[in-house]
Amino acid sequence: MFEALGFNDVAESVYLAMLEHPQAGVEDLMQNLGMEEHQIRQALDDLARMSLLRISGSAPEVFVPVNPRTGLAALLARQQAELAKRQQELEESRASLTALLDVYAGSRVHTSATGVDWIEGIDTIRARLRELAETCTWEAASFVYGGAQSEASMAASRPLDRDAIDRGVRLRTIYLDSVRNDPATCSYAQWLCDLGSEVRTTSVLPMRMLIVDRRIAVVPVDMEKTSAAAVEVTCPGLLTGLVALFSFAWKSAVPFGARRRRDGDGQTAQEKQVLRLLGLGHTDEMVSRRLGVSVRTVRRTVSALQERLEAKSRFQVGARAVALGWIDPDDLG
């Protein structure tokens, strides 16, 4: 009946049952509907995300249904607004793509004139990165996205990094915190530090990036397919923004070898990022890619947070984290 509003059969059955018996708990719903506990709790999470349930004022661990006249109307209005927003974004993306194709339809001379040059294909990207590493004169700053690094990648970088350090180039590298759990990447980072390079880690990185002498930056076009294509940025305005982004991340990152401290609430930065990314609607798989950790680690972290917060569901984890000030509502968009 409510498929068009995003309901599945289980969520619909649970919602209708709760409307008929507003005080029904999980065990009551399991018995009345003949469903497993995990099905009921997943349905409650789904309904809460759609703002069709609210936490009872008298019992924080109990959900009660929102009046369907207002709840379903508000849900429909949100979906209509989201549809309009997506349509606008689609039109804007189409216009931007048309403009971009017009720019890149000509020769590479035209792309260079804009200060943004297209590099396509893994071999071409690697060759350009090698050229930049060999001609760097005083500083190379990089975001190393993706957690643990492959042996092949580190083997290819080792002679370039050693040569740059021998020439007096300042190497500043930011890895994800998760590399501290990978012996091979840790060994490489320690090797860099022993040579005089500067290495730090942070809980989350926005992209993979290399900035050479603050005059050239290279970033991938697609973070999910970093080897497909990249852009080389020399436009002063864009470069200033990328350098500022690196500086901001560098100041908040922790020097390699130092233990990352927990804050006053006993959380690590990684736990805060897990809360924030889940609050933004990311799946466990998406969170694992952003933080460079396994899906199993993400689920273990969520389970530990759920236990600390005495929460019955993921929705309650987020709600209580916001209520306790563990995460800022503004970070959730």
Looking at the chain, list the stretches that DSSP marks H as alpha helix, in order from N- to C-terminal side. Answer: 9-20, 26-33, 37-49, 68-104, 108-113, 122-135, 151-166, 183-194, 236-252, 269-279, 284-291, 295-308, 314-323
Measured CA to CA, the distance from residue 72 to residue 70 in angstroms comes to 6
3-state secondary structure of 195: coil
Record the tokens describing residue 94, joined without a space.
Answer: 């189409």
Cβ neighbour number for residue 108 with a 10 Å cutoff: 11
Torsions phi, psi of 7, nearest 5?
-80, 140
CA 204 vs CA 169, 178, 300: distances in Å = 26, 9, 18
CA 71 vs CA 4, 5, 23, 48, 76: distances in Å = 15, 11, 18, 11, 9
pLDDT tens digits for 273-313? Answer: 777 777 767 777 877 777 777 778 878 888 888 788 777 77
Q: What is the pLDDT along the chain (333 residues), one digit of tens a residue?
A: 555 455 567 777 777 777 777 777 777 777 777 888 788 778 777 777 776 776 665 555 566 766 666 656 665 666 666 656 655 665 665 565 455 545 544 434 445 556 888 888 888 888 888 899 889 998 999 998 877 788 888 888 889 998 988 888 889 999 988 888 888 988 998 898 888 889 998 877 878 889 999 999 998 887 677 677 888 988 888 888 888 888 888 888 888 875 554 444 556 767 777 777 777 677 778 777 777 777 788 788 888 887 887 777 777 777 677 666 676 665 555
3-state secondary structure of 216: strand
Q: Which domains does the chain have, with CATH numbers?
A: 1-105 (1.10.10.10), 117-255 (3.30.870.10), 269-332 (1.10.10.10)
Measured CA to CA, the distance from residue 173 to residue 189 in angstroms comes to 9
Q: Which helix (H) or strand (E) holds 141?
A: strand 139-144
CA angle 125, 127, 133 (to 5 degrees): 100
How many residues in total does the chain contain? 333
Give the residue from 67, 68, 62, 55 showing the smallest Cα distance to 25: 62
pLDDT tens digits for 17-48? Answer: 777 777 777 777 777 778 887 887 787 777 77
Helices 269-279 and 284-291 pack at an angle, to 10 degrees, of 140
Give percent above pLDDT 90 in the chain: 6
pLDDT of residue 210: 93
Measured CA to CA, the distance from residue 40 to residue 307 in angstroms comes to 19
